[in-house]
Amino acid sequence: MHTLLPLKHPHDRAILAMAIPAIGSLAIDPLVSLVDTIFVGHLGTAELAALGINSAIFAMAFIIFNFLAYATTPKIAEHLGRNRPEEASQVVAHALWLATFCGVLMTGLLLVAANPILDLMGAQGAVLKPAQTYLHIRAFAGPALLISTAAHGAFRGIQDTRTPLWVTALLNLINLVLDPLLIFGFGLGIAGAAAATVAAQWTGALIFVWLLVLRRRGPLHVPRIGPSIAGMLPLLRVGSALLLRTGALVGTMTLATAVAARQGTQAVAAHQVANQIWGFFALLIDALAIAGQALLAGFIGRGDIAQARALGNRLLQWGLACGLTLGIGIWLTGAWIAPIFTSDTELVALILTLIPFVALLQPLNAAVFVWDGLFMGTQAFRFLALAMLISTAVAASILAATHALGWGLFGVWSAITALMLVRAITLGLPWWLKRVPGLDTAP
């Protein structure tokens, strides 16, 4: 008898060993923005809207560099699968240098172009000043954020998700303590939220560097070498495809926030809260994608394609079960979740109109995220970029119509739903037809 999630499977032990600590890390990681949203929400609607606009800006500016993790994880796992630890360690060293350079570059660009960027995002009136304040301070967390991103990829590659868990927990604890102290205790307002984030992110980055470069335990012995263009080029080649993929995704989500901002302060504030809830719960499923990246790449490195496929199918079963559970939970508790973020009754009512979207998207998100991780494990980065471009074209068309026809937040979240649905189709069909680049066919 077939069930949604058979109780036993040979790959469950390996999946859970990676996924459970990764769930903690991924659940804790968005808490920096989630905690900021909770505290800033009690400063006022304008400050909450300013935070929402900045969250979209920083997502666009820095998440496009998540190739530092996604490219690093399967490369390290494959090198270790082929018993080449020296080559795996070299990948980590070059990833950390590349992260530093990219972080400094993006920080400089954000500081120089702050006003044009905020204008493009629709920050106007009472929202403009707090948005400027937050951006000018938060930008200095850029290098730290990208160093941590590369470090996450390194630890995932050696199938260690416990270390990133405790580092991320410490980072968020610092932010949780500093947020109320700086925002309310020292009266810094939204500037205090930005400063708390900068302090927390740099603490986490320095700990990661110490663990990887100075402590030097486990299969990796990261060499203390200077930057090398030749060493960073392989990551940059992969990064170009992932940059296109992630840039298209984050660009679409940024466009969604911009369209919401043009509906008014209440609308963008409600969108910010719904987006944070959606992202927080959806990213829990990314723990399965992380397991897929590392474990699948390891099987490919050992030439065991049959086990790679069996692992992927089991991960999809886990994803669907978890997605349904999260969706039902959000649907049933939405009325209690929304008031956590604001005491404005009109804003709470507007947030509640978006809860059905957030809940219904969870199973779809789960399938997409798991497939995404599996394709990354095969290093089919060009295919992922093409699939994402198709998906974002559909979503962007709906967002353009939303702005032109005045469909409001319903149109914004319909576009997000379409984005995830097309992603599921473009990734699901090759998997079931056994035409995955790097697994069933040439990359």
**What is the CB-side half-sphere exposure of residue 29 using CA atoms within 13 A?**
19
148 touches 204 (CB < 8 A): yes
Contact call for residues 181 and 145 (beta carbons, < 8 A): no
Distance of CA 267 to the CA centre of its chain: 23
Q: Is 441 helix (H, G, I), strand (E, B) or coil?
A: strand
Give the list of residues 6+ apart from residue 414 with CB closer than 8 angstroms, or none.
398, 402, 407
Separation CA 249–CA 363 (nearest Å): 19
Cα of first residue to Cα of last residue in the chain, in angstroms, is 36
| b (16+ CB within 10 A) / e for 154-166 | bbbbbbbbbbbbe
pLDDT computed for residue 215 by the predictor: 79
Q: Are 37 and 341 in contact (CB under 8 A)?
A: yes
pLDDT per residue as tens digits for the range 388-441: 999 999 999 999 998 788 888 999 999 999 999 999 999 999 999 999 887 877
Alpha-carbon distance 342 to 83, whole Å? Answer: 53
Residues 6+ apart with CB under 8 A from 286: 22, 26, 369, 373
- Six-digit token pair at 243? 């940059």
Closest alpha carbon to 199 in 183, 178, 185, 168: 178
Q: Which residue has the tokens 């859970």?
A: 16
3-state secondary structure of 437: strand
What pLDDT score does 1 carry?
Answer: 35
Q: What is the pLDDT of residue 29?
A: 63
Q: CA-to-CA distance for 71 and 381, rounded, in angstroms?
A: 9
pLDDT at 101: 94
Q: Tokens 């986490």 appear where? A: 204
Q: Are 269 and 342 in contact (CB under 8 A)?
A: yes
Tell me the residue type at 149. Answer: T
Residue-level pLDDT, tens digit, the chain, 443 residues: 345 556 677 888 888 888 888 877 776 666 777 788 888 888 888 888 888 888 888 877 777 788 888 888 888 888 887 888 888 888 899 999 999 999 999 999 999 999 999 988 888 888 899 999 999 999 999 999 999 999 999 998 888 889 998 998 899 899 999 999 999 999 899 999 999 999 999 999 999 999 998 876 677 778 888 888 888 888 888 878 888 888 888 888 888 988 888 888 888 888 988 888 887 777 778 888 888 888 888 888 888 888 889 999 999 999 999 899 999 999 999 889 888 888 788 888 899 999 999 999 999 999 999 999 999 988 888 899 999 999 999 999 999 998 788 888 999 999 999 999 999 999 999 999 999 887 877 66
113 near 125, Cβ under 8 Å? Answer: no
pLDDT score for 30? 66
What was the pLDDT predicted at 207? 95
Listed in sequence order, the DSSP H helices in 71-161 are 72-81, 85-112, 114-120, 128-138, 142-157
Identify which of 56, 61, 45 has the alpha carbon closest to the alpha carbon of residue 130.
45
Enumerate helices (H) and strands (E) in the chain, giving the number of each. 18, 0
Check: CB of residue 289 under 8 Å from CB of residue 427.
no
What is the per-residue pLDDT for 389?
94
- pTM equals 0.76
Q: Are 380 and 79 in contact (CB under 8 A)?
A: no
> For the stretch 70-94, what's the b/e string if a residue is b when 16 or more beta carbons lie within 10 angstroms of its beta carbon?
bbbbbbbbbbbbeeebeebbbbbbb
